[in-house]
Amino acid sequence: MRRIALVLLALTAGCPGSDPPACITVDTACQPLYVPTFDNVYNNTLKQSCGSERVSCHSREGQKGGMSFEDPQHAYDALLAGRVEPGNPGCSDLIVRTGSPGTDYQMPKGPTSAALSTAAQCALIQWVQNGAPGPVAP
């Protein structure tokens, strides 16, 4: 039995996971964790959950998916380069991936417990729904 399990594991190792769907259903009337501006999205969710040295998936230029969240402008540019569809959160890759805990394309990566809270996810949804406006100049 152990040998069969090892053979199955070897056969499936390296197989690509499922691709995320193009669109999901989202609740735009949800209750956000904070006011859904890009600056709040960046400081309260993206930087902390996706781009900090602690998490490091998108902390520096050239990181996963070619996305860097090292500063607000890099993060915004990366998101608007095909990962966010302003005004359409359900069909934005950012929302699909962050709203799919337990899948192999879940963002942030890790166990389901690493998924964003419902309120943080809501802030992302509402930011995109509101047209995904950019960072406010300092």
pTM, whole model, 2 decimals?
Answer: 0.76
- The pLDDT value recorded for residue 135 is 92
Long-range contacts at 129-133 (CB < 8 A, ≥ 24 apart): 129/28, 129/87, 129/89, 130/36, 130/87, 131/86, 131/87, 132/38, 132/79, 132/80, 132/84, 132/86, 132/87, 133/37, 133/38
Structural domain spans, the chain? 22-129
Distance CA 16, CA 26 (A): 26
Q: Please state the rounded mean pLDDT for residues 88-111.
A: 86
Q: For residue range 60-78, list pLDDT tens digits in order.
A: 544 555 667 778 888 899 8
